């Protein structure tokens, strides 16, 4: 649960410089919120500027505030360290400026690990160092649905394997015949009578409530800021000016950046938004990079064209490429190019759609996740099983109908029982089927092959003669783990590889979707990999 502390400063404080908020405390990576009464006349969204500087005496952060309607202004802050913090406000309106106060930040509670960031080049971890291994899904418009359906989506997510969800801020046209949106981001009236200089606080309050609900479930919110799917309704959100885009992004940052589970995804299929250029996307990226005090993860999702993910403002790669995930050898290539975490947020979807991007069966979906895993990358799920009301998980949420989710839960358990630093390809120059931590842990996935046995063969990094490994046979589809009797003891075979000293093999059932896991269990110690050579 997101812990929030509130300090309320009213108009009665307006003539008292240095007004001190009532004592309050909030946990590390929770939300400390200031609510201040201020002017409601004119257009506060445009006319009023409000910031606060927060400091613990060692570090400081400047945070922008926002207007929340009815003469109320809010400033939200996510403290990153325990201890005593102070704040002071600045504004171009007298009732809002020079407000100051002190509050205490307590250590994070057990389930609060902080925001997720990049770790070990290709992987993720929470701020406290706990590994984060994304098993994600996409559900674009679930926060634009009737309340009972949103609650059903949350209920589904509470028992689903997903710890990350991609979702859109702005409504989409899909499915609105039966479930039209009831809230809009700007004041005005659908379809195009909007005042783009005035936000609708009710819309954003609802959005942030659902982000908080996701946080309570331990789910990261990969928030899509723009998308190209308004053509059928022509609401005008695709064609906002650069000034409106920037004001919208800054408002989102002010309202949402203090939520520790937020990620920023600039767009879904960004290149299908014909009203924006690469320069526009660069500008928005840099705006977020500058204005987000907490440097949440930042990405952009492609259609046909691929954005330059080498740009310094891109933290990780959000990739749509189904073909690349059909086998590990292809899935690892983007890792090599960008040297950043790669998440195949769209590797095609499970479903019965007439279009080919949502025609995977459950086996193929699970297979692609496993291919991503041993490639040292991560997969993204969704499904499209249409009913008479065109209600599908991909767009509306609700319930899951496919076969992949339980198998992805099984994979997630495998991942959570793997080394903390993340799985990296062991020998992708020669055999991309194996990943792990050299000298400690190996996971080899045979995909659609149906071998009757496998002789443990491992690339030399981290290995020496006399190391002992325990083995498990894993059935990715039937969700079983079968320990292999005895231990396997390493012996150098040639310049590159180590095998079992006694030439033992591991029996396999001649079925697809099998894997073998090897874990160091004793004998000679693993060799340091700090200066291990890279040799094809």
pLDDT-based confidence at residue 536 (cuts at 50, 70, 90): low
Assigned token pair, 480: 């079983």
Q: How far apart are CA 265 and CA 168, in angstroms?
A: 9
Q: Tell me the backbone φ, ψ of residue 291, rounded to 5 degrees.
A: -90, -20
Instruction: Go through the domains of the chain in sequence order and give each one's CATH number.
Output: 4-106 (2.60.40.10), 133-416 (3.20.20.80), 426-523 (2.60.40.3950)
pLDDT-based confidence at residue 389 (cuts at 50, 70, 90): confident
Residue 177: what pLDDT?
Answer: 80
- Over range 366-380, report the average pLDDT: 98
CA 368, chain centre distance (Å): 19
> 């894993």: which residue's tokens?
474
For 349-358, write each residue's pLDDT tens digit.
999 999 999 9
- Burial bucket for residue 85 (CB in 10 Å: 0-12, 13-18, 19+): buried
Q: How far apart are CA 521 and CA 485, in angstroms?
A: 13
For 397-454, write each residue's pLDDT tens digit.
999 999 999 999 999 999 999 999 999 999 988 999 999 999 999 999 999 999 999 9
* Number of other CB atoms surrounding residue 271 within 10 Å: 18
* Number of other CB atoms surrounding residue 268 within 10 Å: 27
For 8-49, write each residue's pLDDT tens digit.
654 333 222 222 334 589 999 999 999 999 999 999 999 999
Q: Tell me the backbone φ, ψ of residue 346, rounded to 5 degrees.
A: -135, 100
Assigned token pair, 105: 């930040």
Tell me the angle at which helices 201-216 and 242-256 cross, rounded to the nearest 10 degrees. Answer: 50
Task: Give CA separation, 244 vs 92, 226, 299, 400, in Å.
Answer: 21, 12, 21, 37
- Burial bucket for residue 487 (CB in 10 Å: 0-12, 13-18, 19+): middle
Residue 156 has pLDDT above 60, yes or no: yes
For 203-237, write each residue's pLDDT tens digit.
999 999 999 999 999 999 999 999 988 766 789 99
Residue 348 has pLDDT above 60, yes or no: yes
Burial 183-195 (b: 16+ CB within 10 A, else e): ebbbbeeeeeebe
Q: How far apart are CA 379 and CA 445, in angstroms?
A: 15
Residue 1 has pLDDT above 70, yes or no: no
Q: Tell me the backbone φ, ψ of residue 369, rounded to 5 degrees.
A: -60, -45
Residue 432: what pLDDT?
Answer: 94
């Amino acid at each position: 649960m997101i812990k929030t502390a509130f300090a309320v400063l009213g108009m009665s404080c307006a003539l008292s410089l240095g007004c001190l908020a009532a004592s309050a405390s909030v946990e590390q990576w929770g939300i400390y919120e200031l609510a201040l009464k201020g002017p409601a006349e004119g257009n506060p969204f445009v006319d009023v500027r409000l910031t606060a500087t927060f400091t613990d005496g060692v570090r400081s952060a400047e945070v922008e505030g926002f207007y929340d309607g009815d003469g109320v202004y809010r400033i939200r802050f996510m403290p990153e360290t325990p201890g005593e913090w102070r704040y002071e406000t600045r504004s171009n309106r007298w009732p809002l400026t020079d407000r100051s106060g002190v509050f205490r930040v307590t250590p994070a509670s057990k389930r609060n690990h902080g925001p997720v960031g990049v770790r070990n080049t290709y992987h993720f971890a929470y701020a406290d160092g706990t590994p984060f291994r994304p098993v994600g899904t996409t559900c674009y418009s679930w926060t634009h649905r009737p309340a009972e359906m949103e609650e059903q989506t949350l209920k589904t997510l509470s028992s689903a394997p997903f710890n990350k969800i991609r979702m859109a801020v702005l409504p989409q046209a899909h499915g609105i015949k039966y479930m039209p949106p009831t809230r809009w981001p700007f004041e005005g009236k659908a379809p195009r009578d909007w005042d783009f200089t005035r936000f609708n606080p009710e819309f954003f309050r609802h959005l942030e409530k659902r982000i908080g609900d996701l946080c309570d479930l331990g789910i990261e919110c990969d928030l899509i800021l723009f998308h190209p799917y308004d053509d059928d309704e022509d609401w005008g959100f695709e064609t906002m000016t650069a000034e409106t885009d920037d004001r919208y992004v800054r408002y989102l940052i002010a309202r949402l950046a203090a939520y520790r589970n937020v990620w920023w995804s600039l767009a879904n299929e960004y290149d299908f938004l014909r009203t924006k250029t690469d320069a526009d996307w660069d500008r928005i990226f840099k705006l977020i990079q500058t204005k987000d005090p907490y440097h949440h993860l930042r990405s952009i999702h492609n259609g046909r064209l691929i954005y330059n993910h080498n740009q310094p403002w891109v933290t990780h790669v959000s990739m749509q490429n189904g073909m690349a995930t059909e086998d590990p050898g292809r899935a690892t290539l983007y890792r090599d190019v960008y040297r950043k975490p790669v998440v195949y947020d769209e590797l095609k979807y499970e479903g019965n759609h007439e279009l080919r991007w949502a025609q995977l069966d459950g086996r193929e979906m699970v297979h692609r996740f496993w291919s991503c895993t041993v490639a040292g990358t991560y997969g993204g799920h969704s499904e499209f099983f249409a009913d008479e009301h065109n209600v599908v998980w991909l767009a509306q949420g609700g319930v899951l109908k496919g076969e992949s989710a339980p198998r992805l839960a099984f994979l997630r358990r495998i991942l959570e029982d793997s080394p903390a630093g993340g799985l990296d390809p062991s020998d992708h120059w020669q055999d991309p089927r194996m990943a792990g931590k050299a000298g400690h842990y190996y996971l080899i996935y045979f995909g659609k092959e149906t071998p009757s046995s496998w002789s443990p063969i491992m690339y030399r990094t981290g290995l020496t003669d006399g190391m002992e490994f325990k083995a498990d046979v894993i059935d990715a589809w039937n969700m079983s783990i079968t320990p292999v009797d005895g231990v396997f003891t390493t012996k150098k075979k040639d310049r590159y590889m180590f095998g079992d000293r006694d030439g033992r093999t591991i029996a396999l059932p001649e079925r697809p979707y099998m894997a073998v896991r090897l874990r160091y269990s004793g004998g000679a110690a693993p060799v340091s990999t700090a200066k291990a050579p890279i040799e094809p």
